[in-house]
Amino acid sequence: MLGPVKVANLALSFLLELAVLVAVGVCGVTVGSGAAVHALLGLGGPLLYAVAWGTCAAPRARRPLHGVPRFAFELAWFGSAVVLLGLAGHVLWATVLALLCVVNQVLAQVWRQ
């Protein structure tokens, strides 16, 4: 009975990971001055985040984290995206992202996803 809900939570996890990359890019093109800085931060920020996720948290990561280090990484990953969205002036979206991340992580822990 909960099967579809659990699948939906996994899908939400993936969408939240993508939302972090978008949030970092949005902050990159919003904060700073000059087109070159905006381009560098708007493209380089998400690229750096994607490499970090792929190295430490992706399902096929080369150095996957587990337990407390994984929790700390995800807290920093999602938390920094919320802060960056807020700094870029998108407080409502930052709040939505934060709430969705909390709900997603609580359900993932309860269902051992």
What's the mean pLDDT in 37-66? Answer: 93
Please name the amino acid found at residue 49. Answer: Y
Q: How do the domains of the chain map onto residue ranges?
A: 3-110
**Which residue bears the tokens 């996890």?**
13
Q: What is the pLDDT of residues 64-110, one digit of tens each?
A: 999 999 999 999 999 999 999 999 999 999 999 999 999 999 999 99
Tokens of 54: 């792929």
Computed on alpha carbons and rounded to an integer, the radius of gyration of the chain in Å comes to 15
How high is the pLDDT of residue 63?
A: 86
- C-alpha 35/C-alpha 20 separation (Å) is 22
pTM for this model (two decimals): 0.91
